[in-house]
Structure 1
Amino acid sequence: MEILSHPVQVARQTPEQIEFVSKEQNSKLKLSPEQEKSIPDVIDGFNLSKKDKQSLFFDKFQPADKDVYYFVDKNQIIAKNDGKELENGVKFVSFDSVKFDMKKTELNLDNFDYLKNSLKYLGFGENLNSALEARMREGADKFTLGATAEFSTPVAKDLINYELRFSKSTTSDKFFLNNYQASLEKGLKDGKFDSPVNQVFFLNKGNDITAKEAYNLLSGRAIQKKAELGGKVIDGQETPKRKEEIWVKLDFEKKNEQGNSPFKTFHKEYGFDLQASLQKHPIKELNDPDKRERLISSLNRGNLQAVTFEKSSGEEKGYVSANPQYKNLNIYDKDMKLQFEKKEDIKVDNQETKTPSRGR
């Protein structure tokens, strides 16, 4: 799985500007400071004046004596048309093809390095670094970065878009990554996509949701996270704080005013034991300590994991995922059909709990 940065995206038009454009009142059109800062100073080696930026933003920018022209599409993404890049002649402009006026804002290198490491820790890799630097140098108080990833499933490819939201401190030149919105479109067998499912994940709480975990949660699966419990005041006394691994999943049946789904949480006392649940099924990988450890780790992260079932009729490929709410596993065949195993299919010797030679 590789997460790719979105192309260069500029600030949105205001409702007033949209009205002026629709009425062709071009003389009233003027870029706001935020809009002007979001537009590169150089695209593909062509320097843009303030007038060029205005032309690009509201209509199109065409360098003198060139066949290519640039414009902003309906998603505020800068695109170019040279008639030969793609079948429809349109190609999106990447951050590697643009330059911003580096004199606008001095870059806080320590802050930049910190944010790069944060993106890497969250699973976004290094492909957003160029876009991050450009946006930090713009000098705006807030900015967003877009990214896209594809996840292959046994039946199709899922598409997930991320919008990472940054803001500048009111007391220093530091930026913070506050949250990101993830939007998942599940792939269907016919090549189309299901309606998107969205969720905003807030950060800087010590147990941040990674990009892959966000995908797993939006796919309806549960993940295991370390949470700080206790600290409640009961009868005037604060209960001791402790850290504990808990299972969480999204409750899609509920939404708050912002459209976010709340989390369902399952603590240790709830009684879900992943290893015990695995032992109830004839999974070949459990017989190898290394494979067993990798399987448990993968399920803890909310992944859909490929396994081999040892049945009386022979070995069969399938998939499993953790289901802490019902204290068991979700079992699927090789075509991702949910399975309900018959007792006669389960080998008796695999019903016994086997102690691996190496723990987690």
Structure 2
Amino acid sequence: MNEQNLEYLKKSLDYLGFGTKLNDVLESAISREIPAFTLGVNQSYTSAQAKKAPTVGSDQMRVMLNFNRSKQSDMYFLNDYEVTLVKAGSALPIKQIFDLERDNRITALQAYKLLSGNSLERDVYTKAENGEAAEKKRVWFKLNLDVQDAFGNHPLKKFYPEFKFDLSESINKYPFKGLTELEKEGMMRVLRNGNLAQADMLIGRKSVSVFVTANPQFKGLDVYDKNMSIIRQDEIFPKQINEPTHNQQKTRTPSFETEIGSESAQDRASWESSQKNSSQDQEISR
């Protein structure tokens, strides 16, 4: 058994958010020299709504991790993992396969947030074509949960800096009540981590308690009431929606070419170099 390879895989599992709970079954499978095997683990998360009403219950997530042995050596590789999420109060599971290389080593917690409908921002490393050192960029991620591709996956959209989504400017567009600069900075940290932020917003001359999450595709925010029902943009901006200007229409229409322009380079998440920053904010999104 390749001990160095085993330790690397254990570190990978820890980085992805599974701790050491799979180490024993991983070592057992490798010692038996199984060509390909799958390990499963259950995760439980408490949504923001459940924190306010414990009777709602927790969200349950099942993760199946797929390992393969190299045909040329005794090394094993963790290529991808499949997630099945069942939200509290819902019988309809949401499924997604995350490829570690293609999807920039999305962690289990980040997978939960994305499958919950939230966007998040994180570092990715783009490999230069001319052989130069990888460049680190801040990239927004969002799953399109409305559609599935030919493999049953929801498209994972990536929004690079060239897309020019400015979270601070987006927050400024919305009629938050009494939001100080310090509170705004805190909100931005929460949203970048893929969580819901709670605030008060003036809607129809009334102060309403809302939850918000970032929507980089439309360069704005998704706004929900206390029951997690979406509040439409035309309720928040009745005049702007009813009488849109040319510039507003342009802002609300994402440039697909800009979004994917940087994806032509091979993306890599160098977890080894950023492992000290890999601990995730345990405040759960929704």
TM-score by length of 1: 0.54
Shift of 1:311: 6.0
Stretches of structure 2 lacking an aligned partner (at least 5 in a row): 51-55, 238-286
Residue of structure 2 equivalent to 1:264: 157
Q: Residues of 1 paired with 2:69 and 2:186: CA distance? A: 40
Alignment of 1:165-180 (within 5 A): 165-180=66-81
Q: Does 1:332 align with 2:229?
A: no
Shift of 1:123: 1.4
Shift of 1:121: 0.9
SS at match of 1:194: coil
Residue of structure 2 equivalent to 1:251: 144
> Cα–Cα, structure 1 residues 266 and 138, in superposed 2: closer, same or farther, change >3 Å?
same
Q: 1:302 aligns with which of 152, 175, 194?
A: 194
Residue of structure 1 equivalent to 2:95: 198
The total of aligned residue pairs comes to 227
Shift of 1:286: 4.8
**8 Å contact from structure 1 (residues 207, 225) kept in 2:** no
Q: Does 1:125 align with 2:125?
A: no
* Letter of the structure 2 residue corresponding to residue 126 of structure 1: T
Q: Residues of 1 paired with 2:212 and 2:225: CA distance? A: 9
Q: Residues of 2 paired with 1:283 and 1:174: CA distance? A: 57
Q: Residues of 2 paired with 1:123 and 1:286: CA distance? A: 34
Q: 1:277 aligns with which of 130, 151, 170?
A: 170
- CA displacement 1:219-261 (0-9 Å, x = unmatched): 22222243455857xxxx9999754322222233443332222
Residue of structure 2 equivalent to 1:163: 64
**8 Å contact from structure 1 (residues 254, 261) kept in 2:** yes
> Cα–Cα, structure 1 residues 117 and 285, in superposed 2: closer, same or farther, change >3 Å?
farther
Shift of 1:272: 1.9
* Letter of the structure 1 residue corresponding to residue 88 of structure 2: G
Q: Residues of 2 paired with 1:300 and 1:259: CA distance? A: 27
Shift of 1:181: 0.5
SS at match of 1:201: strand
Residue of structure 1 equivalent to 2:44: 150
Alignment of 1:170-249 (within 5 A): 170-188=71-89, 193-204=90-101, 207-228=104-125, 242-249=135-142
Q: Residues of 1 paired with 2:219 and 2:86: CA distance? A: 28
* Letter of the structure 2 residue corresponding to residue 269 of structure 1: E
Q: Residues of 2 paired with 1:131 and 1:338: CA distance? A: 43
* Letter of the structure 2 residue corresponding to residue 308 of structure 1: A
Q: Residues of 1 paired with 2:224 and 2:155: CA distance? A: 27
Stretches of structure 1 lacking an aligned partner (at least 5 in a row): 1-105, 344-360
Higher relative contact order (CA 8 A, sep 6+): 2
TM-score by length of 2: 0.67
